[in-house]
Amino acid sequence: MKSICFAVTTALALALAPAAQAKLSKAETAMAKTVTAEQERSIALLERLVNQNSGSLNLEGVEKVGAMMRAELEPLGFTVDWKPMRETGRAGHLIATHKGRPDGKRLLLIAHLDTVFEPDSAFQTFERMGDKAKGPGVGDNKGGMVVIVAALRAMKAAGTLKDANIEIHMTGDEEDAGNPVELARADLVAAGRRSDVALDFEGLARDNGADMGSIARRSSESWTVTATGRPGHSSGIFSARAGDGAIYELTRILYRFRTELPEPNLTFNVGLVAGGETASLDEGGIRAAATGKTNIIPSTAIARGDLRVLSAEQSQRVKARMAAIVADHAPGTDATIAFDPGGYPAMPPTDGNRALLDRLNGVNRDLGLPEMAALDPLKRGAGDISFVAADVDGLAGLGTFSTGDHGPGETVDLTSIARQATRAAILMTRLAAERR
């Protein structure tokens, strides 16, 4: 207990030092003190959230975590609604709204209730280790939800929440989006269109020990290449009659992807390959079956992979190049490429996003904290904020700092709760006070 209190006090010492206080308003100084004083309360909330399994496919568990967040937000003056999403195969979303000044900026806060750890995972419980804690979703994204609550409590105590227009969307399927994704994200997209600023509370990124600002996130899309060839005896391979076979055709395509597609901010992974006399994928596209013999020219070969880009323009251009490579068939073969519907769009690094990072760095300066440089988007995956990126300026990575996310050793830096909640409370207070 003493070690964590000391660590939190140290982490925010500059924020409460006299020189920093001179740059903070009375309310902002009060918020920083409230966050620090309530650190143990925040950690207790995190423990309760982590100990409730909420794997994306555990619909009842996701709903229970939603109910826990409702219990935190309603006392702060939020109107909380649950939007069921069973028709997409997922639990649903928690949507909370707080009405402030009619002419004040509208803030959209984004987080998610679900984790990658389903009930059959061996990783199920919160374990505290001094100023760190381990558990399923402890950082991604239950730590982020705790940061939101801690920041809002501080705003409430300081009197700055009453005038703030805030809408919170906590999705129940960020780790495994419901189908169709257009329906699963319809409410979030609509919220982005009526908001002035979007703040995403997924994990804080650090690079070489320095806190970083996230003003961009790449997309996440999936593709399938299916190659076909003429079946026959292997002694005829490469002949005019038999051609090259399906596996050589697929190999040609993947080799040209690797050598001809690379460009800045683009990655394309091949995650699953199958080929032979027969080859097929299951309905979910995550398992493959194949049969064949060494003396039979393969008639079918399949590859599935992902595609990550930084803009819609880059996506369209790269997809066109992939299609052209696929269409340039080897002798005696055919091939097609299909891109899965839905997927996560990109969040490009716009001037508006850079301006928001500048605002956050103004908070950092006034707290006596180091300024945060923009994170290389290659170091961040896709996220829900990308669904609103076309309509509103945004900033990501306002949640806790954690390591080992999505693995059985996921560990959060508990001191980052207080630092991130203090930053968020002051940033939200300043933004909410501005006129639209």
- Measured CA to CA in angstroms, residue 59 lies from 72, 114, 275, 344 at distances of 20, 9, 36, 22
Shared-domain flag, residues 383 and 327: no
User: Which of 282, 308, 339 represents a domain boundary (last residue)?
Assistant: 339
- Residues 68 and 166 both lie in one domain: yes
What's residue 15's pLDDT? 43
3-state SS, residue 212: strand
Is there a single domain that holds both residue 195 and residue 305? Answer: no
One domain, residues 363 and 291: no
pLDDT at 416 over 70: yes
**What's residue 399's pLDDT?**
98
- Report how many domains make up the chain: 2
364 and 229 in a single domain? The answer is: no
Nearest alpha-carbon partner for 77 in 155, 147, 145: 155
Query: Of 339, 362, 394, which residue constitutes the final position of a domain?
Result: 339
Q: Model confidence over 203-251: pLDDT tens digits?
A: 999 999 999 999 999 999 999 999 999 999 999 999 999 999 999 999 9
Q: Indicate whether 267 and 401 sit together in one domain.
A: no
360 plus 425 within the same structural domain: yes
End-of-domain residue from the set 316, 339, 362: 339
> For the domain that residue 150 is a member of, what is the CATH number?
3.40.630.10
Average of pLDDT values for 272-276? 98
Identify the pLDDT of residue 22: 57
Q: What is the pLDDT of residue 1?
A: 46
Other C-beta atoms closer than 10 Å to the C-beta of 135 total: 25
**Amino acid found at 349:** P
Residue 3 pLDDT exceeds 60? no
Token reading at 284: 């979910």
Question: Is the domain of 262 the same as that of 251?
Answer: yes
Q: Are residues 99 and 228 in the same domain?
A: no
227/211 same-domain check: no
How many whole angstroms separate alpha carbon 102 and alpha carbon 95?
20
| Domain CATH for 310 | 3.30.70.360
308 and 191 part of one domain: no
Produce one character per residue of 39-77: b if its CB has 16 or more CB atoms within 10 Å, e if not. Answer: beebbebbbebbebbbbbbbbebbbbbbebbbebbeebb
Element housing 223 (H / E): strand 221-229
Question: Looking at residues 145-168, what average pLDDT do you find?
Answer: 98
Residue ranges making up the domain that contains 383: 2-218+346-432
Rounded Cα–Cα distance for residues 158 and 160 (Å): 6
pLDDT for residue 6: 43
Greater confidence (19 vs 226) lies with 226
Domain shared by 230 and 310, yes or no: yes
Q: Considering the chain, what is the average pLDDT of its residues? A: 94
